[in-house]
């Protein structure tokens, strides 16, 4: 199934929704795909993984919007090549932080397009303000470590420095803290004796490209439920 949106002049997208089909006991019911926005700062490999997953038959979500704070982000090129609407937003000069104005702008873009889920994919700023408040419980992030260990930047190097035998990646809900939201999915990666940050990061990234689409599929399919800090996955 083609996930491309069919952009109109000026970068606007057609206000149409793509159906997906799920099996029922009797017959087949048509359902609308959940619209997701991805926020990325860099090359966008997890953005790409999500977009490609949305091509799969029966996948219950579509990437409707890419937002970046970096006009040179590689993710923007992939979006242009694949007909995904994109926007670049100045989040302010302070590294690692975003302005409240930029948060308002992001929220407005998402609201106009009917975005139901926001996915952070290498967004190098702490999310706050309007978009965090309005998408509470509807915003995901992926982190290259087994949370709650090794939060923040350079989780792979932190794992090496600590000497753990296993690390991995975590998909979690986003809250006001740094990598502190409830955990949805984790994938485990063995740490080899001769690993460098680069070699370990490469193997973790391969698992990220599996974990993130899986988490979004579960969420969009209605299989995710939270009870306090616990995330329960229902049988499919």
In a domain, 34, yes or no: yes
For the chain, 236 residues long, give each residue's pLDDT as a single digit of tens: 322 333 333 333 333 334 443 443 444 455 789 999 999 999 999 999 999 999 999 999 999 999 999 999 999 999 999 999 999 999 999 989 999 999 999 999 999 999 999 999 999 999 999 999 999 999 999 999 999 999 999 999 999 999 999 999 999 999 999 999 999 999 999 999 999 999 999 999 999 999 999 999 999 999 999 999 999 999 75
Q: Are residues 114 and 14 in the same domain?
A: yes
In a domain, 141, yes or no: no
> What confidence score (pLDDT) does residue 5 get?
33
Q: Are residues 37 and 16 in the same domain?
A: yes
Q: Are residues 12 and 87 in the same domain?
A: yes
Name the CA radius of gyration of the chain, rounded.
18
Q: Which of 143, 154, 172, 209 is catalytic?
A: 143
Rounded Cα distance, 3 and 58, in Å: 12
Is 143 annotated in the active site? yes
Query: Could you tell me if 20 and 64 are in contact, meaning their C-beta atoms sit under 8 angstroms apart?
Result: no
Domain boundary among the residues 113, 135, 157 is at 135
Rounded Cα distance, 30 and 169, in Å: 34
> What confidence score (pLDDT) does residue 16 get?
34
The one-character DSSP state at 1 is -
Which ranges of the chain would DSSP assign to H, the alpha helix?
45-53, 74-81, 100-112, 130-134, 155-162, 197-220
> What confidence score (pLDDT) does residue 30 get?
56
Q: Are residues 152 and 235 in the same domain?
A: yes
In a domain, 227, yes or no: yes
In a domain, 35, yes or no: yes
> What confidence score (pLDDT) does residue 31 get?
72
In a domain, 118, yes or no: yes
Rounded Cα distance, 85 and 221, in Å: 24
In a domain, 157, yes or no: yes
- Residue-range definition of the domain harbouring residue 53: 1-135
Q: Are residues 111 and 213 in the same domain?
A: no
SS3 151: coil
Task: Domain count for the chain, please give it.
Answer: 2
The CATH number that applies at residue 49 is 3.40.50.170
Rounded Cα distance, 15 and 208, in Å: 31
């Amino acid at each position: 199934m083609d996930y491309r949106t069919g952009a109109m002049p000026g970068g606007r997208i057609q206000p149409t929704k793509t159906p997906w089909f799920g099996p029922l006991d009797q017959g087949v019911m048509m359902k609308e795909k959940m619209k997701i926005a991805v926020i990325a700062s860099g090359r966008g490999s997890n953005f790409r993984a999500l977009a490609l997953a949305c091509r799969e038959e029966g996948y219950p979500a579509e990437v409707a919007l890419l937002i970046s704070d970096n006009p040179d982000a590689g993710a923007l090129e992939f979006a242009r090549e694949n007909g995904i609407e994109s926007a670049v937003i100045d989040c302010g000069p302070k590294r690692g932080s975003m302005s409240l104005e930029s948060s308002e702008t992001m929220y407005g873009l998402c609201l106009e397009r009917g975005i139901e889920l926001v996915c952070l994919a290498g967004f190098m700023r702490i999310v706050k303000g309007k978009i965090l408040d309005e998408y509470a419980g509807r915003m995901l992030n992926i982190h290259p470590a087994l949370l709650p260990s090794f939060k923040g930047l350079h989780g792979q190097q932190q794992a090496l420095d600590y000497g753990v035998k296993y690390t991995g990646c975590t998909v979690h809900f986003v809250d006001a803290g740094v990598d502190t939201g409830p955990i949805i999915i984790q994938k485990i990666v063995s740490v080899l004796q001769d690993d460098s940050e680069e070699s370990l990061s490469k193997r973790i990234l391969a698992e990220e490209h599996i974990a993130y689409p899986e988490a979004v599929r579960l969420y969009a399919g209605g299989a995710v439920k939270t009870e306090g800090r616990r995330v329960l996955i229902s049988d499919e």
